Chains A and B, each alone.
Chain A
């Protein structure tokens, strides 16, 4: 009897989750992220959910891609280096099933590592008592736990996108060294490169001001930032240029789909056996 592809997918997801959970680096990185986020939330003494989001936004933009790339860049590459991909190819499992399963397993672990600390630090707001409330927090209409939940949901989406990029890197890199170099280069490009390029373009007159909201959506980090500023902080002038929400969602979706497609096509060549 033919086994449904979904069962195979679950087998691959389970293998990835088990692998990640049993890896000491995962526990160390998760603990490190939780410690950084907790320390930031505690020392910022934000006094409100929206101020807390603003305090966490920049660190999250840096740390979530770092975590995603660390968790994912060797997922398929490790199997390739061990020769297990060659073995897997002798089983009746498709490239798409294997890649999606690998992605879902790694992304699930990443979500746990990112979301649990973010949800936990929300407790800082009521505990802090709002003694040093900022302008943002004093506007009741502006600040609520719902806005913080939106931030967490958007962060989850951002994490899923960069996890897909990490899987694509893992499928395309030929060696561990190349994978690490690609992951590092992509991380730097995400955090600094794209925005720096746009600033240079604006300064040089190459990029018109009107095109900025759309162009910002081309980078996952800028798209995520734009979505947070528009839908969480909303209506507050932060002085930071932001992508439009629709363009941001489209940009993140495109990165997700394109990255997974690259991974599926690159993981192994299509054969008739």
Chain B
């Protein structure tokens, strides 16, 4: 059985064999006395797009950095897929991608391509992220959205089996946001596993799986519909609010953080 998302791709069926490309087990990390990750565990299946959602300060970036090996967790383990023939195991888009300003788009990607084993097709990568027309434009002349697309291009160079995108749609307009989610879906269709942290719950609802992180713990995970059903929510947004409110120790929600909506009393 398959399900078709808004982006026209088929989600993996419940019956299809599941191979996990990423397995996170009991990750714990503290910055001094502050516990940022507390026994966080979840997995992402191969060739799928998974969204990591959570309130500001919930530990999303720390979790992604622990997965990438950029910081050593106090406890727990991360199992990653083997590296691609290019030698790259994980592609990474930081939250605020930035590049040497005096370089052109093409030069920037070529530098990263030259760090890989074998040849990487820079032109094909530019085409994939829609930046072919600005190949010769300097990085400091790019818009914020284009810089982010260049970051995505960099993240997928060398076809790593796992791509980690940290808030790839932050500050982007709806069209560009939609485009980023389409690129992620295309990558998954080609067998790449994509894990993206986002605050965009509309986009997250179109992914194959969602993990909700709150106060450093995974408080819910699964396909968006199942996750919503698990807390009797009508939408991922409602499920998110319910899961993160429960973690605050109040099933009714934290009264100090009411979400007001037009024509309503708040959520």
Interface residue ranges, A against B (CB under 8 Å): 1-3, 7-8, 10-11, 14-15, 18-19, 22-23, 78, 82-84, 86-93, 269, 271-273
Contact = CB atoms under 8 A, between A and B. Distances in A.
17 contacts: A1-B117, A2-B117, A2-B118, A3-B117, A8-B114, A10-B114, A18-B102, A19-B102, A86-B92, A87-B112, A90-B88, A91-B87, A91-B116, A92-B83, A92-B88, A92-B117, A273-B80
Nearest to A93: B115
A84 B98 contact: yes
A3 B119 CA distance: 9
Nearest to B89: A273
Contacts of B115: 8, 11, 88, 91-93
Contacts of B68: 86, 89-90, 273
B40 to A, nearest CB: 18
Interface of B: 65, 68-70, 72, 80, 83, 86-92, 94-100, 102-103, 107, 111-112, 114-118, 154, 158, 160
B69 A273 contact: yes
Contacts of A7: 114
A23 B140 CA distance: 13
Nearest to B103: A18
Contacts of B94: 83, 86-87
B102 A84 contact: no
Given A15-B103, A18-B103, A86-B65, 12 more contacts: A1-B118, A8-B115, A23-B102, A82-B98, A83-B95, A83-B96, A83-B97, A87-B112, A88-B115, A90-B160, A92-B88, A273-B90
Contact of B72 (A15, A82, A90, A271): A271
A19 B100 CA distance: 8
A14 B114 CA distance: 11
Contact of A90 (B91, B98, B107, B117): B91
Contacts of B96: 83
Contact of B69 (A3, A11, A88, A89): A89
B70 A15 contact: no
A82 B87 contact: no
Given A2-B117, A273-B68, A15 B111 contact: yes
Contacts of B86: 92
A86 to B, nearest CB: 5
A88 B88 CA distance: 11
Contact of A271 (B69, B83, B100, B111): B69
Pick the 8 closest A-B CB pairs, nearest first.
A273-B69, A92-B87, A11-B114, A82-B98, A22-B102, A91-B115, A83-B94, A271-B69
Contacts of A90: 68, 88-92, 160
Interface centre among B72, B83, B117, B118 (most CB of A within 10 A): B117
Contacts of B158: 91
Contacts of B116: 3, 91-92
A78 B83 CA distance: 28
B112 A91 contact: yes
Nearest to B92: A90
Contacts of B118: 1-3
Contacts of B99: 82, 84
A49 B160 CA distance: 59
Contacts of A78: 100
